Amino acid sequence: MDLKDQLKNLFPDHEPTEDEQKIDVENEIWLQEEPIICKYEKRKGKPITILEGYTGADEDFKKLAKELKTKLSVGGSFKDDSIIIQGDYRDKIMKILQEKGFKVKRVGG
């Protein structure tokens, strides 16, 4: 249940104005034509999934990283224009990104 639903429950007679309806546009992230590269590596014996090749703003890439980490319930980081996810989640990540409208290319193994 998001904030809008909670507010509707508290104030059922309230009609939202046009300014309140335009707020949802901020959650959009920029989609690119080039595919995002999804690759698998082992660092210090532990598997990681790396996403590279996003040409949008760093803010959008950080939002995407946070969303992936929360959906997969794993750790990770954002470094040097790449997202590093702990574990081998290439299939799940590719599925999530394709549902959002991104083109994804699997590299390695």
Lowest mean pLDDT among 22-31, 72-81, 98-107: 22-31
String of b and e for 38-48 (b: at least 16 CB within 10 Å)? Answer: bbbeeeeeeeb
Query: Domains along the chain?
Result: 28-107 (3.30.780.10)
- The tens digit of pLDDT for each residue in 23-40 reads 334 457 777 788 899 999
Token pair belonging to 43: 């660092």
pTM over 0.75: no
What is the Cβ-side half-sphere exposure of residue 109, based on CA atoms within 13 angstroms? 13
**97 CB contacts (<8 Å, ≥6 apart)?**
36, 38, 104
